[in-house]
């Protein structure tokens, strides 16, 4: 169903670099977030970085989809990526992170810093 107080969405990174529709998928995810900010949550993955979007094609897809504005959009999109959290904690019990857990124990209070 649609995002709601009873049906939260958590996108766990790598929104881009998954095919030619990357810019459109990202716009749809951002629209969901804007429409239901209390019910849609985003974690940053490794592909939400300058290095990956350049290497894996998102920047080229952005240029193809928005030829007149792609550079300005790239800067804004990466600004948004840089503000995304790396993890979410659900109900105080479930830790969700895109890249997995480290080999050593890290308390949540340290991650919050």
Active site residues: 47
Contacts of 77 (CB under 8 A, 6+ apart): 26, 62
Count the neighbouring beta carbons within 10 Å of the beta carbon of residue 71. 12
Stretch (H or E) spanning 29: helix 22-35
Give the strand pairing for 40-43 and 9-12. Answer: parallel
């Amino acid at each position: 169903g649609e995002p709601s107080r009873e049906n939260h969405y958590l996108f766990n990174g790598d929104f881009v670099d998954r095919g030619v529709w990357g810019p459109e998928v990202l716009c749809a995810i951002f629209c969901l977030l804007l429409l239901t900010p209390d019910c849609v949550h985003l974690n940053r993955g490794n592909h939400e970085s300058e290095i990956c979007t350049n290497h894996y094609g998102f920047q080229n897809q952005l240029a193809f989809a928005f030829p007149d504005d792609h550079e300005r959009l790239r800067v804004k999109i990466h600004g948004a990526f840089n503000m995304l959290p790396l993890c979410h904690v659900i109900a105080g019990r479930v830790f969700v992170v895109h890249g997995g857990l480290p080999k050593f124990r890290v308390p949540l209070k340290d991650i919050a810093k």
